[in-house]
């Protein structure tokens, strides 16, 4: 699991780069929209720019449908009804065949015929629970910008597709955070809400992550808090949020839009937001900076696309890689921009870049993040360990005959890149489905620019 040109803090290594998006156990912290996954192994379809994924033209004749995956149980003929959304069928049939092949479920013909009938009658189809779990996990495995994919098969899937109302979704998201945090033993988790349908959009979560810190714009243009969220903060105020205490780390409310509804604000209760005070093991003055960060990087604007079905509301998380917090969220000049303050307290010469004051301050900030999470008993990984784990993931997948796609610019950590083994190699950049996809309109909602 997907934060535009910056990375995201993420589950066990979603790295945090160029425009920062906090990720999940390796989901990078960026903001560039992801266009999706291309042709893959085992019959996965190429993904295209719009949902539903797929995009190959529908063939009405029996031979073409048979080659697309309809088996001997039922081969639609000229009198069979054509699907109401013909572009959905190639993606659906490709996914069903891939699922049956990888999990050794036998002949997919009966399931293909069932799905074909649903698509022909309603314009969509419903995944079984087993298909949903498989699709969500493989979407993580297919995430080219995630370094933390070694544990893709451990993702726990919460099936909440029956929920469409904003208040119910907000409550389920709150429970998601509680279940994912587990007192500090962070659990990779996804909660899947109702998908888009031809006659009805699914729900939307406007926050880029379930937990985001407010950005309050002052009269002189300065921002107290996270500048990345100033638009979302202003939107929350317009929707009735009274604001927090005015600190740099006020937790924003969830902004949720139910089916056939307008976006609404829902405060997150304190027990659902596990936070870690950031201190340093050597410098006593560090505590005076009053820094902290949340423990669960739950991405909530990325669309889960499985076999042509789009789950626009499907928040998911892993755990943080320390650099996503220390080298991106707290350090980027368009985020908390803490390096000058830390360098001053360290007594470093900031008059010239040649003193490497930024590098030295950056290392100490990242040391503080790892030390603080460890002391609090909260799961976090470091970029050296996660780089080695990623190469283990590559080896495992290659032994199973699967090619791993990866984006070098996102996989290489934002500090000490050449000191990690992921730096010294190239990667297949092919994108595959199912996938977590970042649509431009979701980014617009998260920035508060989307019309209410």
In the annotation, is 129 catalytic? no
Question: For this structure, is 319 an active site residue?
Answer: yes
> Chain-centre distance of CA 346, in angstroms?
35
Check 324, 364, 386, 431 and give the catalytic one.
324
Q: Considering 30, 87, 146, 212, which one is annotated as catalytic? A: 146
Instruction: Find the catalytic residue in 14, 286, 319, 357.
Output: 319
Residue 324 annotated as catalytic: yes
User: Is 173 labeled as catalytic in the residue annotation?
Assistant: no
Name the active-site residue from 34, 141, 149, 158. Answer: 149
Tell me the C-alpha distance between 48 and 249, whole Å. Answer: 38
Residues annotated catalytic, as ranges: 146, 149, 319, 324
């Amino acid at each position: 699991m997907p934060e535009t040109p910056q990375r995201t803090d993420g589950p066990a290594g979603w790295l945090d780069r160029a425009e920062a998006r906090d990720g999940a156990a390796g989901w990078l912290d960026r903001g560039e929209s992801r266009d999706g996954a291309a042709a893959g192994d085992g019959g996965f379809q190429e993904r295209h720019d719009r949902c539903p994924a797929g995009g190959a033209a529908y063939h009405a004749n029996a031979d073409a449908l048979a080659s697309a995956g309809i088996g001997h149980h039922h081969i639609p003929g000229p009198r069979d009804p054509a699907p109401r959304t013909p572009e959905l069928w190639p993606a659906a049939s490709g996914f069903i065949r891939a699922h049956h092949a990888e999990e050794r479920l036998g002949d997919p013909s009966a399931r293909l015929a069932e799905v074909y009938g649903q698509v022909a009658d309603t314009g969509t189809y419903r995944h079984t629970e087993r298909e949903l779990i498989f699709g969500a996990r493989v979407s993580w495995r297919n995430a080219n910008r995630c370094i933390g994919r070694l544990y893709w098969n451990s993702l726990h899937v919460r099936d909440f597709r029956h929920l469409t109302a904003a208040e119910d979704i907000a409550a389920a998201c709150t429970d998601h955070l509680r279940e994912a945090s587990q007192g500090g033993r962070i659990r990779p988790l996804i909660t899947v809400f109702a998908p888009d349908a031809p006659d009805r959009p699914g729900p939307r979560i406007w926050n880029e992550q379930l937990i985001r810190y407010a950005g309050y714009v002052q009269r002189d243009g300065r921002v107290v808090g996270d500048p990345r969220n100033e638009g979302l903060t202003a939107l929350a105020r317009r929707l009735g949020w009274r604001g927090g205490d005015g600190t740099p780390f006020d937790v924003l409310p969830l902004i949720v839009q139910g089916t056939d509804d307008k976006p609404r604000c829902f405060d997150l209760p304190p027990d659902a937001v596990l936070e870690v005070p950031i201190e340093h093991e050597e410098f006593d003055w560090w505590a005076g900076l009053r820094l902290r960060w949340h423990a669960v990087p739950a991405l909530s604007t990325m669309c889960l696309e499985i076999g042509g079905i789009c789950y626009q509301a499907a928040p998911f998380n892993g755990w943080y890689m320390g650099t996503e917090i220390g080298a991106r969220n707290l350090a980027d000049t368009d985020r908390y921009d803490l390096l000058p303050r830390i360098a001053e307290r360290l007594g470093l010469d900031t008059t010239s870049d040649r003193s490497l004051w930024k590098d030295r301050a950056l290392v100490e900030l990242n040391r503080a993040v790892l030390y603080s999470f460890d002391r609090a008993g909260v799961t976090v990984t470091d970029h050296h360990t996660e780089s080695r784990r990623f190469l283990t993931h590559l080896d495992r997948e290659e032994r199973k005959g699967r090619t791993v796609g990866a984006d070098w610019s996102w996989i290489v950590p934002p500090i000490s890149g050449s000191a990690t083994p992921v730096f010294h190699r190239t990667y297949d950049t092919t994108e595959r489905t199912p996938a977590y996809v970042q649509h431009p309109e979701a980014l617009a909602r998260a920035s508060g620019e989307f019309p209410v």
